[in-house]
Chain A
Amino acid sequence: MRNGGRARLLLVVLIVTSLFLITLDLRGVKVIEGFKQGTQTVLSPFQRAGAVVFNPIKDFFSDVSNLGRTGNQIEKLEAENAKLKIDLLNRKNADAQLEQLKEILDLAGIAGYKVVNAKVISQGSSQSFSQTLTIDSGSKAGIRKNMTVLSQYGIAGVVKDVYPNSALIQLASDPAFKIGARIAGSQQIGILSGQGNRSATLQLLDNSTTVSVGDVLLARGSSSNRPFVPGVPLGYVSRVDNSAGAIAQSAVVRYYTNFSTLGVVAVVVGGPSSNPGDALVPAKPQVTPIPTVTVTVTPTPSPAD
């Protein structure tokens, strides 16, 4: 009886403590924030070490998850895989990261973004159904909360939390991620929301406008360029929802960025002096014509002639 009473008391105390913690967090009490910051400060050296040790093998699992696609995609992947194998033989990850970095800098250079580059040191667990990653640069490198994060293809996410030597990035695929988007060319605007994978939903704001498959989406930008700088490529429309009862048209958008292969990202610490407009719209893939080889055979004159 006494033991049972003690156990019940313990359980009640722990439940009350948990509810107390939830209440404190929902009310924005800074003690909880300090707890998390302190933990990340302690964890970041271990995450850096983990990133160094496991970097050569961590892409294996994301490659495995791409199995089961259509034959065309498999052929394309095989071709890419062959190319990657050559890259791997040459300089392994250093080359790949350098390539990513170069493309990010090209992207940032065209638009005039001032960026700080960072390596991904942790991918974040999906146990909480969130999509985050941790980078190896923080407030000491000039990174602040609510700054745009770029990959070599466009948007990667936004800075959610900053620590002295690391930062937590909320990926654009996170269900809580939302960004103002405009369609390149037509300038129609809408809200793009993450869905937990590489697809996102676009909700147009004006019920008189329409969207088509293949339309390219760019970031509208925020005031003072935070959290989002204007002109960042987001993705393209892969499916249009034409529900009869919908107030405004919606669409499914596929992000340009493959979030499972991010190795290097850039945080935009300074926005462009002028809006880059549609300058960053990715070029459409060009069809390379296969040359026709014509062989002309001229008969050799026989000795009898």
Chain B
Amino acid sequence: MFTRQLSFSAPIFLSIFLVQEAVISQFRLPGGGFSLLLIFALTWAVLSQPEIAAVIGFASGFLMDLSQSASGPFGQWTLLMLLAGYSISYIGYGDDNVHANAIGIVFFVVTATFLVEIAFLLSGALLGVALGSFSQMVTTLFGMSLWSLLVAPIMLPLFTKLHGLVFDSRSVI
């Protein structure tokens, strides 16, 4: 069951990764833009069980590390997304205020995006990754969060529908 669900998820994640790299990366958006894969993975994690969310986080982080624009060492995004996926699912799992509430899901996703980016900065600083000026970091951090706030509600119906198709859940909003 677990393997079947994850194998159904794989082509969806690969497609989102392709859209991110071939379409969204064509635009240099103000405030740093957004990562569709990051938003998708976090939404998927909110709707899933913790262990599935951990695997999803691991796989999406691995794809983010494969992106040419990833600046840190390979595995940094994998580790962060694994922890983010598991944490977000662990906190929200079983709570209908989160699962059955679109605002709750968006709130979780946007907050998680903000925290994951902060975690990336902190771990990057520990690993010796050059991160730029403080003002630029703050701009990108808040810019990406605002973009997530804009994109997550628009994409949420599609993402929950896909999740429902794969996992046969009733979380379609």
A interface, CB within 8 angstroms of B: 6-7, 10-11, 14-15, 17-26, 32, 35-36, 39-40, 43, 46-47, 49-51, 54-55, 58, 61-62, 64-65, 122-130, 132, 134, 161, 168, 174-176, 194-197, 199, 259-260
A27: nearest chain-B partner, CB-CB: B73
Partner of B130 from A64, A123, A176 at Cβ < 8 Å: A176
Partner of A47 from B25, B58, B137 at Cβ < 8 Å: B25
Interface range on chain B (Cβ under 8 Å from partner): 35 or more
Q: Does B173 contact A (CB under 8 A)?
A: no
Interface centre among A17, A126, A196, A197 (most CB of B within 10 A): A126
* Interface residues of A, dominant DSSP: helix
The docked-state distance in angstroms from the alpha carbon of A47 to that of B120 is 26
19 more CB-based (< 8 A) A-B contacts, given A14-B82, A51-B26: A10-B54, A18-B75, A18-B78, A35-B74, A46-B22, A47-B26, A50-B25, A54-B27, A62-B28, A122-B21, A122-B22, A124-B68, A125-B67, A128-B77, A129-B121, A161-B68, A174-B132, A175-B130, A196-B136
CB distance from A176 to the nearest CB of B (A): 4
Q: Does B105 contact A (CB under 8 A)?
A: no
- Known A-B contacts A40-B68, A126-B32; the reply to A58 vs B74 at CB < 8 A is no
CB distance from A26 to the nearest CB of B (A): 5
Q: By the criterion CB–CB under 8 Å, are B131 and A58 in contact?
A: no
Partner of B132 from A40, A123, A195 at Cβ < 8 Å: A195
Q: By the criterion CB–CB under 8 Å, are A54 and B26 in contact?
A: yes
Interface centre among A22, A25, A36 (most CB of B within 10 A): A22
The docked-state distance in angstroms from the alpha carbon of A47 to that of B25 is 9
Q: By the criterion CB–CB under 8 Å, are A7 and B51 in contact?
A: yes
Contacts of B33 in A (CB 8 A): 125-126
Q: By the criterion CB–CB under 8 Å, are A6 and B51 in contact?
A: yes
Q: Does B140 contact A (CB under 8 A)?
A: yes
The docked-state distance in angstroms from the alpha carbon of A54 to that of B55 is 33
